Amino acid sequence: MDTPAEGAVARTAAFFDLDKTIISRSSTLAFAPSFYRYGLISRVQAVRGAVAQLVFRMGGADHQQMERIKTEVTRACRGWSAERVTEIVTAHLTDTIAPIVYAEARLLLDSHREAGRDVFIVSTAGQEMVGPIGVLLGASGIIATRMRLADGCYSGEVEFYAYGEAKATRMRELATERGYNLAECFAYSDSATDLPMLETVGHPHAVNPDRELRRVARERGWPVLTFADRSRDM
């Protein structure tokens, strides 16, 4: 859900990818144990989520892997109550997300806010997960995947997939709505799949980049940041 702060107008903004940029893991897969505990997924699905999390942490996710995750998650969550998902995510933010936030990312988020910029989390994860994380991190708003709902439950179809060019399109829409000068805006991501997002702003940054993004950043002279420390005081 795109949720910019009501009535706020700023000339610049900073856009942050979430997984492996702000946090060290996949946000979607990180909640698999909680979803299992509350009966939303089976033990087999929880184990698959743990294995996928390990693979993601070791090497990230390319386009094919992202499409596979999208298909599996969409299929798994069909029939779930969107409100229930938000409740579970909110209840477990402290033990699930807070410990895996990069300390360097937290400082960077704070520095952009102190400079008067709006801060957005831009993630392929679902809005019911990204929304509470955005509140935890003090974000001005989010851009996230929206699942189609039927009577308050996921229908198994995607209404808006916040991935690739779609992220950049929504960023440009926000710039028009809020008067941002994108040439003066900032963006941060770890993945080459977010090149459209990074290319949309005047100040792109590669964070813990995958091989392809590292190559592009080197060729274009983009700053490359290394985040390693986890937050402890959140």
Of 19, 118, 190, 194, which one is the catalytic site residue?
Answer: 19
Of 2, 17, 190, 194, which one is the catalytic site residue?
Answer: 17
51: number of Cβ within 10 Å: 10
**CA angle centred on 46, ends 189 and 41, rounded to 5°:** 105
> Which residues sit opposite 230 in a β-bridge?
102
Verify whether residue 190 is a known catalytic residue: no
Crossing angle of helices 82-91 and 127-137, rounded to 10°: 30
CA distance 5 to 127: 16
Task: Let me know: does 191 contact 60? Beta carbons within 8 Å.
Answer: yes
Which whole-number Å values give the CA distances from 79 to 35, 67, 155, in the listed order?
14, 21, 6
Chain mean position to CA 110 = 17
Residues catalogued as catalytic: 17, 19
